[in-house]
Chains A and B, each alone.
Chain A
Amino acid sequence: MKTFLKVVAFSVVVILFYAFYASYGIPQIKPEAPPQEEKLDLGSMTMYQFIALGDKIFNGKGTCTLCHNPVGGRAPVLDSVASIALEHMKDARYKGKAKTAEEYIRESMLEPSAFVVAGFGVKGTNDTESPMPNVATGAIGLNEAEIDAVIAYLQKKAGTEVTVKIPVGAPAKEEKAEAATAIAKTPDELVAKLGCGACHKIAGQVGALGPDLTKVGAVRKEDYLRRSVLDPDADIAKQCPTGPCAAGMMPKDYKDKMTAGELEMLVKFMVNSK
Chain B
Amino acid sequence: MRFLTKAIVSIFIVLAFILSYPILTPASKSSLAFAEEVKKDASASSVKEEKAKDKPAYPPAPKLKETDYPKIKGFNGRIVIWLAAQLHLWFAAFVLAVPIFVLIIEGIGMATHDERYDKMAYEFIKISITAYSITAVFGGLLAISLMVFYPDFMKYMTGIFGSSMLAYAFLFFAESASLYIYYYGWNWLNCGFKKWVHLTIGLVLNAVGTTLMFLANAWVTFMMSPGGVDAQGVFQGNSWAAVHNFLWNPINLHRTIANIAYGGSVVGAYAAYRFLSAQTKEEKAHYDWMGYTANFIAIAALLPLPFAGYWLTAEIYAYSQQMGITLMGGVFAWLFIIQAVLIGALFLSANYYLWCGMGRSEGAVRYNKYIKYIAFVIIACFLVWFTPHTLVMTQTELKALGGPYHKYLGPLGIMPAKNTAVNIMILFTFLSFLLYRRANKIATVSWAKYGNIAQIAIFTGAIINIVFLGVYYGYYTNTALKVGSSVPQVASTLFVIILCMIIDVFMFKGAKDVAPLKWGNVPDRSQYALFLLAVSFTWLMGLMGYIRSGIRQHWHVYTIMRDNSPDAYTPTIGYAAQIVSIAVIIFMAIVIFIFWLNQISSKKH
Please choose the segment from B25-33, B325-333, B424-432 that sits at the chain A interface, where 4 or more of its residues have CB less than 8 A away.
B325-333
Q: Which residue of the partner chain A has the closest CB to B330?
A: A66
**Does A140 interact with chain B (Cβ within 8 Å)?**
yes
What distance in Å separates the Cβ of A197 from its nearest Cβ neighbour in chain B?
A: 25
**Does A181 interact with chain B (Cβ within 8 Å)?**
no
Contacting pair A139 B555 (CB below 8 A): yes
Contacting pair A138 B596 (CB below 8 A): no
**Does B588 interact with chain A (Cβ within 8 Å)?**
yes
**Does B374 interact with chain A (Cβ within 8 Å)?**
no
Q: Which residue of the partner chain B has the closest CB to A131?
A: B321
Contacting pair A139 B558 (CB below 8 A): yes
Contact with A along B565-594 (1 / 0, CB 8 A): 000111111101110110011001100100
Contacting pair B573 A132 (CB below 8 A): no
Q: Which residue of the partner chain B has the closest CB to A139?
A: B559
**Does B341 interact with chain A (Cβ within 8 Å)?**
yes
Contact with A along B533-548 (1 / 0, CB 8 A): 0011001000100000
Which of chain B's residues have a CB closer than 8 A to the CB of A4?
Answer: 277, 592, 596
**Does A16 interact with chain B (Cβ within 8 Å)?**
yes
Q: Knowing A8-B589, A138-B559 touch, does A18 contact B539 (C-beta < 8 A)?
A: yes
Please choose the segment from A27-35, A78-86, A230-238 that sits at the chain B interface, where 4 or more of its residues have CB less than 8 A away.
A27-35
**Does B338 interact with chain A (Cβ within 8 Å)?**
yes
Which of chain B's residues have a CB closer than 8 A to the CB of A72?
Answer: 325, 329, 479
Contact with B along A31-48 (1 / 0, CB 8 A): 101110000000000000
Which of chain B's residues have a CB closer than 8 A to the CB of A67?
Answer: 321-322, 325
What distance in Å separates the Cβ of A2 from its nearest Cβ neighbour in chain B?
A: 8
**Does A247 interact with chain B (Cβ within 8 Å)?**
no
Contacting pair B479 A137 (CB below 8 A): no
Contacting pair B539 A15 (CB below 8 A): yes
Contacting pair A14 B555 (CB below 8 A): no
Which of chain A's residues have a CB closer than 8 A to the CB of B578?
Answer: 19, 23
Q: Which residue of the partner chain B has the closest CB to A8?
A: B592
Contacting pair B392 A16 (CB below 8 A): no
Complex Cα distance A35/B277, Å? 55
Q: Contacting B334 at CB < 8 Å: which of A6, A26, A63, A120?
A: A26
Contact with A along B104-136 (1 / 0, CB 8 A): 000000000000000000000000000000000
Q: Contacting B321 at CB < 8 Å: which of A19, A26, A73, A132?
A: A132
Which of chain A's residues have a CB closer than 8 A to the CB of B321?
Answer: 66-67, 74, 131-133
Q: Which residue of the partner chain B has the closest CB to A30?
A: B572
Which chain A residues (107-122) contact chain B, with CB distance < 8 Å? 119-120
Which of chain A's residues have a CB closer than 8 A to the CB of B480?
Answer: 73-74, 119-120
Q: Which residue of the partner chain A has the closest CB to B538?
A: A15
Q: Which residue of the partner chain A has the closest CB to B589?
A: A8
Q: Contacting A73 at CB < 8 Å: which of B273, B478, B543, B568?
A: B478
Contacting pair B596 A12 (CB below 8 A): no
Contacting pair B273 A18 (CB below 8 A): no
Contacting pair A28 B572 (CB below 8 A): yes
Contacting pair A73 B231 (CB below 8 A): no
What distance in Å separates the Cβ of A144 from its nearest Cβ neighbour in chain B?
A: 16
Complex Cα distance A219/B479, Å? 40
Which of chain A's residues have a CB closer than 8 A to the CB of B576?
Answer: 22
Which of chain A's residues have a CB closer than 8 A to the CB of B592?
Answer: 4, 7-8, 11
Q: Knowing A18-B539, A19-B581, A33-B569 touch, does A66 contact B329 (C-beta < 8 A)?
A: yes
Q: Contacting A26 at CB < 8 Å: which of B320, B568, B573?
A: B573
Which chain B residues (319-354) contact chain A, with CB distance < 8 Å? 320-323, 325-326, 329-331, 334, 337-338, 341-342
Q: Which residue of the partner chain A has the closest CB to B269?
A: A7
Which of A11, A23, A26, A30 counts the most B-chain CB atoms under 10 A from its CB? A11
Complex Cα distance A66/B553, Å? 15
Contacting pair B334 A15 (CB below 8 A): no
What distance in Å separates the Cβ of B553 from its nearest Cβ neighbour in chain A?
A: 7
Complex Cα distance A6/B527, Å? 12
Which chain A residues (121-147) contact chain B, with CB distance < 8 Å? 131-133, 137-141
**Does B58 interact with chain A (Cβ within 8 Å)?**
no
**Does B532 interact with chain A (Cβ within 8 Å)?**
yes
Contacting pair B330 A21 (CB below 8 A): no
Q: Which residue of the partner chain B has the closest CB to A137?
A: B231
Complex Cα distance A113/B95, Å? 47
Contacting pair B331 A74 (CB below 8 A): no
Complex Cα distance A11/B536, Å? 9
Q: Knowing A15-B584, A22-B573, A23-B578 touch, does A133 contact B322 (C-beta < 8 A)?
A: yes
Contacting pair A21 B338 (CB below 8 A): yes
What distance in Å separates the Cβ of B210 from its nearest Cβ neighbour in chain A?
A: 29
What distance in Å separates the Cβ of A76 from its nearest Cβ neighbour in chain B?
A: 11
Give 8 closest A-B pairs by Cβ, nearest first: A73-B479, A22-B577, A34-B554, A23-B574, A19-B581, A31-B570, A138-B559, A3-B277
6 residue pairs A–B, Cβ–Cβ below 8 Å: A6-B276, A31-B570, A31-B572, A66-B321, A72-B325, A74-B479
Known: A74-B325, A131-B321, A138-B231; 7 extra A-B contacts, CB below 8 A, are A11-B592, A14-B539, A15-B584, A26-B338, A74-B479, A119-B480, A139-B559
